[in-house]
Chain A
Amino acid sequence: MAPPTHARTGGGDLAIEVTDLVKTYPAARKKPPVRALDGLTFDVPAGVVLGLLGPNGAGKSTAVKILTTLSRADSGTARVAGLDVVNDQQAVRLAIGYVPQKSSSDPMATGTENLVLSGRIYGLSKSDSVRRSAELLERFGLADAADRQVRTYSGGMQRKLDVALGLVHRPTVLFLDEPTTGLDPEARADLWTEVERLSAAEGLTVLLTTHYLEEADRLAAQLAIVDHGKVVASGSPEELKAELRGDSVQVELADATSANRVHSLISELPGIGEIVVEGNVLRARVDRGATAVPAVLGVLEEQEIAVAAVTVARPTLDDVYLRYTGRTFRAAERASDAEKERAA
């Protein structure tokens, strides 16, 4: 059975409660209005890292902007740290830390200056702010660069400083919008370690948006998969993967024209679940990969259909995504990129 699309976690403190958010951006020149959020609903229990996973343009950043009081929804309600994001705006701002998608430090200021100013804005005294800044710089391995202007920092260092900026005032809820986009693999792994430490050691509630399946799998205890402004599935990564019984078999054909014929051939085999065709690639859910692969290959050989590759894998988040949205994550990303290009 599919998990309910907006599961309410009964009992316990909820750090974030989002109910039926709708946000439409007005039509721009020659472009139709965009419905960025279309009834978005999800909860985050206190102390949990929740990943909002979805392709670019799914509405993740819009959701974060509404939850951080930067933007306003057309309808629906959202509470963060028990406070309404519209009616208790100022209190919400004090309770949260926000790490925007783009680097949020002042490049002309040093690491310390950035952090101290941020602390002061949130009401820390000068000395508290200085102490807290030094502590964060130390923790993020930036102590050596503390007195250097941020414009001399590497991308990874800037991103760590961004996270530190979100933490100066000891928020109870931290929003990380695409924290590792544009980072090299090493810097990414580094930041992952930091985020893991944060949630484990400080009991911080973290809402993380990402379009990296791997990142969601690694960091998020709970996932909400977002597509076209709605949560289409939620649960822990393990739960979501377990929902997809069996394995995934992927058949890459030498020639895309025979894909439809292969589709009907394979669907007649026993133990085969849903099949999705994308170009010359067929992906099928099967009960057991070990028995399905020889059967599939047998049929294809009988019909003399050339095969480029066959792979079998345990379910991944990509399969989960495919299951709920009917398209692979890569295809969704490509589609949204193409849309962006058309709009530009």
Chain B
Amino acid sequence: MLVDLAGGWNPMWGRLAWSQIPYDNPILAPLFVAVVVGAILVLGLITYYGKWTYLWKEWLTTVDHKKLGVMYILIGLVMLFRGFIDGLMIRTQQAWAVGAHSSGVFGATHGYLTPFHFGQIYSAHGVIMILLAATPLLVGFMNIIVPIQIGARDMAYPYLNALGLWLTAAAGALIMISLFVGDFAHNGWFGYAPIFELQYSPGVGVDYWIWTMELVALGTTLGGINILATIIKMRAPGMTWGRLPIFVWATLSANVIALTSFPALQVALALIAADRYLGAHFFTAGLGGNLMLYTNLFWIWGHPEVYFVILPAFGMMSEIFPTFSEKPLFGYITMVLASMAIAGVSWLVWLHHFFTMGAGPYVNSAFSVATMLVGIPTGVKVFNWAFTMYRGRLTFNTAMLWAIGALFLLLIGGLTGMMLAVPAINYMVHNSVFVVAHFHTMLLVIVYAIFASVIYWFPKVFGFKLDEFWAKTMFWLFSAGTVLVFVPMYMLGFMGMTRRLDYVFNTVWHPYLLVMEFGIAVYMLSVLAFVALLYVSIRDHAKNQVGADAWGTSRSLEWLTHSPVPFYNFAVLPHISARDEVAWRRDNGIDHVQPDHYEDIHMPNNTGVAIILGGLTFVLGFALVWRIWWLCALSLLAIVALVIYRSFKGDPGYIITAAEVEKMEKEALRREAQISK
């Protein structure tokens, strides 16, 4: 062994021991029982209804970009819920452990969480919300919508697409299993040197954090390559760059960021791994290491990543406003330029995450100015959306409400961002909950855009609309929760409350913390409303079925094909004549014209290789965390062998004959005719 490990190690099990299972933890042990019972129930139900073959053939081995996108979104929603529960636990601890007289249970002096446990919860909350909730949700939408919007049959690399999904799933599984085997990092989601070094964090928590983030980074980089290749190479005839739907432009700029920035994260994490596994000294204070170099490397990725998640959200809003304003998007070209400008500036601002490092006035001023520059293209976007709605025929359905909510949050988050870009202010509120409130406002812009998209694109994917009453209920509950949690948080930030307190010493802050606790309870109600929304919508799906153009005022190409979208997307690849193709066809009265004959369609075959590789990667991650070297070697060997096997085998794909296409199209048209009656 190159490093000294606390708590022993043996060749067979590595660091794994029974004492690592937290069966005496009063929170985790009952949860573990609930998870096991739930898992047995789900697996039992699948077996009882004989759905294993269906699940394997239609979902687990699929390379269909729409199904992969749906699975991405499911992973994202599950992780969003997990991250929300972490948030709920943080808020409860801070509402409870206030002042020296507050009570304590479960081994904590104050509140119900020990400082070590609390540290793990806020670290997991951050990692999960950014990398395993927001990212998969957005990647899911890109996966589903981009190929249909550009008139392609699938992604450029369907197998790579499946691999990206299963790597993300492996990362999610790794962070979930850290609940029940060992512990998680307590160094915050972005990590601090030197607390994540082995001598200060001797457990496996930091290792879980490293390998979870590495797997997501790998999956997202592969996904980025795939989406870029798809947009550049797979556009339908006539789809020039000037006719590209705006969501595709947003996706393009976001994935340029992903491709160029994620490697920086992978390198930073690999260097921590070198410190912890090989005894290197990249980020220690001694032997020539540099603590701040880690922070620097992390934010070289971290800031572009912020724009990687916000740009697709802007793209979603740019699709929703025109549809429900019955007007084309105002300032298409400036919107595209603004996306590209944000992507470009994203590389020049990372130091604003550590203004207080002490790099001095020249460096801080330069990065301050660069940060404020981001406000220009973002302002262009906001005005474009406002002018899109100006004198439009507005329909306030729930998708539009979420999008308008996102616009308001963007204003608050953007203005507080401008404040934080001033180093003098930044020094005052650095690491206070004001910063926390700012970036939560920005991430809520993304959440609002995502829920707007769920409402907006759900009928395209599943063929029926979501229930308006429950969707509106959920929106208003969620918005009430947002106000109740984050307005007091801004106020507490100005009152000097620092982030990540497991014990709040100042009792003056207690009323604000109680309001926030009430707000998180309202959020909980909105989660229940979301469950009710899904239940009611699926129950009444026969009532809410829709045709190709679900909203009647849609503009871009995805609304040309049937809802739900057939697995080959378009029976005949459309020829694009205008920027808003569907609106153009509707205006010219040719939106219902059907092709006079069909041709054979060439589609990729399903493959089980991707999910097996995902499983092996999970095993590799787990073995690395627990330093079970034989298992690392074995799983790595299996991964390499499987990749080589697959690349020699290749995939010739299969052909759907013209006759079969015609039959399926007739069926879909018959269904549509029934709905319109």
Same complex for A and B? Answer: no
By a beta-carbon cutoff of 8 Å, the part of chain B in contact with chain A is: none
